[in-house]
Amino acid sequence: MKAIVCEKPHDFQWKEHPKPVPREGESLVKIRQIGICGTDLHAFNGRQPFFSYPRVLGHELAGIIEKIEGPDHGLQAGDRVVIVPYLECGTCVACRNGKTNCCTYMQVIGVHQDGGMREWITLPTDHLIKTDSLSWDEMALVECLSIGAHAVRRALVETGEHVLVVGAGPIGLGAMQFAKLSGAKVIAMDINEARLEYCRNEMGVEYTVNAGIQAREELQQITDGMFPNVVMDATGNAQAMRKSLDYLAHGGRMVYIGLFDGDFSLNDPEFHKRETTLLSSRNATKADFQQVIASMENKQAKSSCLITHHSEFADLIENFQDWLKPESGVVKAMVHL
- Under a CB-based contact definition with an 8 Å cutoff, are residues 187 and 211 in contact? no
| CATH number 3.40.50.2000 given to 2-130+303-336 | no
| Mean per-residue pLDDT over the chain, rounded | 95
How far is it, in rounded angstroms, from Cα 68 to Cα 219?
A: 52
SS3 279: strand
Residue 39 has pLDDT above 90, yes or no: no
Question: Which residue intervals of 5-135 are DSSP H helices?
Answer: 38-45, 93-96
Domain residue ranges in the chain: 2-130+303-336, 147-280
- HSE-CB of 23 using CA atoms within 13 angstroms: 2
pLDDT grade for 262, boundaries at 50, 70 and 90: confident
CATH code for 147-280? 3.40.50.720
Residue 162 pLDDT exceeds 90:
yes
Number of neighbouring beta carbons within 10 Å of residue 241: 21
What b/e string do you get for 116-153 counting C-beta neighbours within 10 Å, with b at 16 or more?
bbbbbbbbbbbbbbebeebebbbbbbbbbbbbbbbbbb
- Predicted TM-score (pTM) of this structure: 0.94
How remote is the C-alpha of 16 from its chain's centroid? 29
- Distance of alpha carbon 192 from alpha carbon 209, whole angstroms: 10
219-227 own/partner pairs: CB under 8 Å, 24+ apart: 219/164, 219/187, 219/247, 222/162, 222/187, 223/162, 223/249, 226/162, 227/162, 227/252
Torsion sign, CA atoms 300, 115, 86, 286: positive
Q: How do strand 80-83 and strand 128-130 relate by DSSP bridges?
A: antiparallel
| End-to-end alpha carbon distance in the chain | 12
Instruction: Give alpha helix (H) positions in 117-191.
Output: 136-155, 170-181
Percent of the chain topping pLDDT 90? 88
The predicted-structure confidence for 48-107, as pLDDT tens digits, reads as follows 777 889 999 999 999 999 999 999 999 999 999 999 999 999 999 999 999 999 999 999
Note the pLDDT tens digit of each residue in 319-336. 998 998 888 888 899 999
Work out the number of other CB atoms within 10 angstroms of the CB of residue 260.
16
